[in-house]
Chains A and B, each alone.
Chain A
């Protein structure tokens, strides 16, 4: 297999998610949202969004209880740290019932 088909004259990349692979695999801890505590979920309104605002990966959707994209979430824990309602807990990947690698 050769590289001719790419047709590139220079090294020029095109955007795509997961350039570094499924970076969720880097995680040792996963964020778990307790919806009962989440301000936005409880109010069912577009409020707070601190977790979305401060996610360095852009892996949290801007929605009440916005799902966290565990495929790419690197498990840094900023969202848990920043949440004013203490609604996100970091849980060990080893204790987690779901496999990180499943997709």
Chain B
């Protein structure tokens, strides 16, 4: 595993960009582009990342970037791959990056089609668990109980989809989850994914101070809490082999999950949850955590 000190100093995201103060996406983007050494062309639908990327005629990113319509990220990426292949320029990695709305909801058809075709690009879903760019509306990734502007009083009544499992069910060569609070985990996964042929899916948890309602300074610690409480689990599935990674792996190897309330109480979006919902959620987290541990046959290695 790469350490922070081994991470290249090169930056491909420029300061003075349009992201919110404390936005986790900036951290994530920096490491993704570092891992790809800037040798990529990005494609991005309408989302927070579009805003971060900057308004014409100035770009905050020093790699080629092609914007896409909201549902069209995976198709655009497929097209870039096909076009570059036709021109024998396959040395360039095609990186598609969409938010949870552009992945779970409006983008899922195109993504599923591209996965079925095993189109040769890296898809990163940066998941901030709601439509943050349009003002925190609920998405297919929003956790149950969360207050958003479209679930304003009761909170979201549906559980989110498990996008990792959905992508894994497509039998693509690489699926991973990671979190911006563990940038070396992210870096290693992108680096590994870079050299795999086919559709590679990385799910990146990105805490959002405005949508999750916490102090911007806490972005990294909230992300850490997400992993330490088991709300987010870091894993990768490489050619069908599932293994927990990084902090999650260490927790599975003799560690202990923190109570979920530590993660939830740090954010106002969960303020609605009553005791029974919290118990239910805690139970769910443990059940899932145990499933992950059982699933990981490499833990004893």
Please say whether the chains A and B touch (CB closer than 8 A): yes
Q: Do A81 and B218 touch across chains, with their CB atoms under 8 A apart?
A: yes
Q: Do B57 and A8 touch across chains, with their CB atoms under 8 A apart?
A: yes
Known contacts A15-B60, A58-B11, A78-B217; is A20 also within 8 Å of B16 by CB? yes
Interface stretch among B18-26, B170-178, B291-299?
Answer: B18-26
Tally of chain A residues near chain B (CB < 8 A): 42
Of A16, A27, A55, most B-chain CB atoms within 10 Å: A16
Measured CB to CB, the nearest residue on chain B to A53 is: B4
Measured CB to CB, the nearest residue on chain A to B224 is: A82
CB B8 to nearest CB in A, in angstroms, measures: 9
Size range of the interface on B? 35 or more
Contacting B16 at CB < 8 Å: which of A14, A21, A27? A21
Contacting B17 at CB < 8 Å: which of A20, A54, A75? A20
Q: Do B183 and A54 touch across chains, with their CB atoms under 8 A apart?
A: yes
> Does B13 lie at the interface of the complex (its beta carbon under 8 Å from any beta carbon of A)?
yes
Cβ proximity bits B86-121 to A, threshold 8 Å, 1 near / 0 not: 000000000000000000000000000000000000
Q: Do A19 and B59 touch across chains, with their CB atoms under 8 A apart?
A: yes
Known contacts A76-B216, A81-B217; is A56 also within 8 Å of B16 by CB? no
Q: Which of B14-63 contact A (CB under 8 A)?
A: 14-27, 30, 53-62
Measured CB to CB, the nearest residue on chain A to B209 is: A76
Contacting A58 at CB < 8 Å: which of B15, B24, B221? B15
Q: Do B60 and A49 touch across chains, with their CB atoms under 8 A apart?
A: no
Measured CB to CB, the nearest residue on chain A to B54 is: A19
Measured CB to CB, the nearest residue on chain B to A20 is: B18
Q: Do B21 and A74 touch across chains, with their CB atoms under 8 A apart?
A: yes
Contacting B59 at CB < 8 Å: which of A14, A55, A62, A73? A14
Cβ–Cβ < 8 Å partners of B20 in chain A = 74
A23 vs B18: C-alpha distance when bound (angstroms) = 8
> Does B169 lie at the interface of the complex (its beta carbon under 8 Å from any beta carbon of A)?
no
Cβ–Cβ < 8 Å partners of A75 in chain B = 21
Cβ–Cβ < 8 Å partners of A49 in chain B = 4-5
B residues adjacent to A (C-beta < 8 A): 4-5, 7, 9, 11, 13-27, 30, 53-62, 183, 209, 215-221
A residues adjacent to B (C-beta < 8 A): 6, 8, 11-23, 26-27, 46-47, 49-50, 53-59, 62, 69, 71-78, 80-82, 90
What are 30 pairs between A and B in contact, CB < 8 Å? A12-B57, A13-B53, A13-B54, A19-B18, A19-B55, A20-B17, A20-B54, A20-B60, A27-B21, A50-B4, A53-B4, A53-B7, A54-B220, A55-B26, A55-B27, A56-B19, A56-B22, A56-B23, A56-B26, A56-B27, A57-B15, A58-B13, A59-B15, A62-B9, A69-B15, A72-B16, A76-B209, A81-B218, A81-B220, A82-B220
